Amino acid sequence: KPKNLGYSVLKKIYNELGIKEVLNEATKNSKIQFDLNEILSFLVFMRVLKPGSKKDAYDNRDLLFENCNFSLDDIYRSLTSLNPIQEKIQKTIWENTKDKYNRDTSTTYYDCTNYYFEIEYNDEDKYELDCDGNIIKDDNGNPLIKEKGLRKRGPEKNKRPDPIVEMGLLMDASQIPLSYDIFPGNESEKKSLIPILKRTKHQFDLDRTIVVADRGLNTSDNIIHISGTSIEQAKKLNGYVYGQSVRGADDKFKSWILENDYTTDILLDDNGKEIKFIHKSRIYPKKMRVVRDDKGKTKAGQDKVQYITVDQKQMVYYSQKYADKQKRDREKIVAKANDLISHPEKYSKATSYGVAGYVNNLKFVKSTGEIADSNNLSINEEKIKEEEKYDGYYSIITSEEHLSDIEIRNIYRGLSKIEETFKVTKSGLEARPVWVSRNDHIESHFLTCFISLVIIRLLEKRLDNKYPFEQIIE
């Protein structure tokens, strides 16, 4: 049977990461009867070469040259052993690559995605119990959770109904993964940034970084946690570059966007073609409403409301290409809205996704999801006209007042690399659907995906970023 020789390249980089030493230390006094490093490296290589389930990997073990001195059961047992040391492995990878690969954390990129499971029901949370088997509650009457169920229904990226888990990924300026976190699928990704940033900075001993994130993570709490309440504080703490919704902005910001005082520069795109960069910026004191409890967690309805003014640089630019895309996207939704008005019997709350804001008087029966009254439906012309005003405009905000508009644009454009990274994990590494079910096994599955991804990015860098992922693997 043919053997794969190319994985020797993957193995060379894997050995450079120092993972074996961490695993040897972790199992030194244990009763484990298998070689944990042998299994982890095997799972990483197979994740790159022939991605699939753990059983698929084991069934195709003859693809590699080494004899696999472990069983399929040993693979599943290894997932339990790997989970407690995943953060230490992340740190060790950083320590063994930061100098060799000149890794730059002056700018870091953060984004979230989710991975689905082909199951019907959410995982249940496990609660703290007293000696009589009763659930223990805190002073506010809330049950104390011992372990959260990970697989839960949430806003899946492809609108699938399956339970999901969320992943938050932090990358350095060279687009090499730094660290990651996994959290339940029903939790808001907006609250995930600060914990992973704090942990990574502390464990990796990082200096000040400019965090770049998409507009979905642009919240008052995140901004204030990252950089404080002024440009002067941001110089000492961390900085941020965020996308900001134009249509969701306040009226003063929208009015400023429509004022015709833009500057035009000629830039080169990735293919060397000249493009117009139409832009303007200002430093603006932004008033933010922050609601927290004593532990720094958001707690609506309490008397912990603070109004904090944050100095930030706001930049807006116009793109005709983006304007054309927004127009096309809206035309598709409006066409669907018109069809809903003409044929309401074809639609339900689930199948009318995206059109609700474009149809006046659209309501649904709570129990069935059917349209409640189809007699008074009409297109929301006012919404369409309002949206058209802002077609093509995109806004970015930052704590870094010294950055030029072009620098802000270039830094923010790097965020597209993390989106491409998620595509690699989902398509190239086939990290989904996930074929394990226990929390510790799920966590360890994503550890193998993370290590595989790091190796691929390091290999791309050693090849001067001349070749795409698919070509390298081929």
Q: Which pTM does this prediction carry?
A: 0.87
Query: What SS3 state is found at 286?
Result: strand
3-class secondary structure, 354: coil
pLDDT at 334: 95
**Quick check: 336 pLDDT over 90?**
yes
Query: Looking at residues 63-68, what average pLDDT do you find?
Result: 89
Q: What is the pLDDT of residue 204?
A: 96
As given in the structure block, the two tokens for residue 116 are 């689905």
Q: What percent of the chain has pLDDT over 70?
A: 96
Q: Residue 265: is it exposed, middle or buried by C-beta count within 10 angstroms (0-12/13-18/19+)?
A: middle
pLDDT digits (tens, 9 = 90+) for 350-398: 888 889 889 999 999 888 888 888 888 999 999 999 999 999 999 999 9
pLDDT of residue 292: 55
According to the model, what pLDDT value does residue 310 have?
81
Q: What percent of the chain has pLDDT over 90?
A: 53
Q: Judging by DSSP bridges, how do beta strands 393-398 and 239-244 pair with one another?
A: antiparallel
Instruction: Provide the CB-side half-sphere exposure for 266 (13 A, CA).
Output: 3
> Would you state the pLDDT for residue 416?
86
Sole residue written with tokens 């644009």: 409
ω before 433 within 30° of 0 (cis)? yes
Could you tell me where the beta strands, DSSP code E, fall in 239-273?
A: 239-244, 263-268
pLDDT at position 59: 93
With cut-offs at 50, 70 and 90, classify the pLDDT of residue 121.
confident
Instruction: State the maximum Cα–Cα separation within the chain, in Å, rounded to a whole number.
Output: 73
Average pLDDT over residues 140-153: 84
Let me know if 367 is exposed, middle or buried by CB neighbors in 10 A (0-12, 13-18, 19+): exposed
**What does the buried/exposed string (b/e) look like for 7-32 if buried means 16 or more CB atoms within 10 Å of the residue's CB?**
beebbebbeebbbbebbeebbeeeee
Q: How far apart are CA 311 and CA 333, in angstroms?
A: 37
The residue among 32, 176, 28 whose CA lies nearest residue 102 is 176
Reading the block at residue 433, the tokens are 């659907």
Residue partners of 108: CB distance under 8 A and separation at least 6: 170, 171, 172, 173, 178, 197, 209, 210, 211, 212
Q: Which residues contact 40 (CB under 8 A, 6 or more apart)?
A: 19, 23, 78, 82, 448, 451
Write down the pLDDT at residue 77. 93
Residue 246's pLDDT is 92
Q: In the structure, what pLDDT confidence band is assigned to residue 335 with cuts at 50, 70 and 90?
A: very high
DSSP run (H or E) holding 13: helix 7-16
pLDDT given at position 294:
45
**Angstrom distance (rounded) from CA 225 to CA 238:** 9
The predicted pLDDT at position 265 comes to 94
Q: What is the pLDDT of residue 463?
A: 94
Query: How high is the pLDDT of residue 41?
Result: 96
For residue 305, pLDDT over 70 is answered with: no
Given pLDDT bands bounded at 50, 70 and 90, which one contains residue 220?
A: confident
State the pLDDT at residue 291: 65
The conformation of residue 424, written as its DSSP 8-state character, comes to I
Residues 6+ away with beta carbon under 8 Å from 98:
none
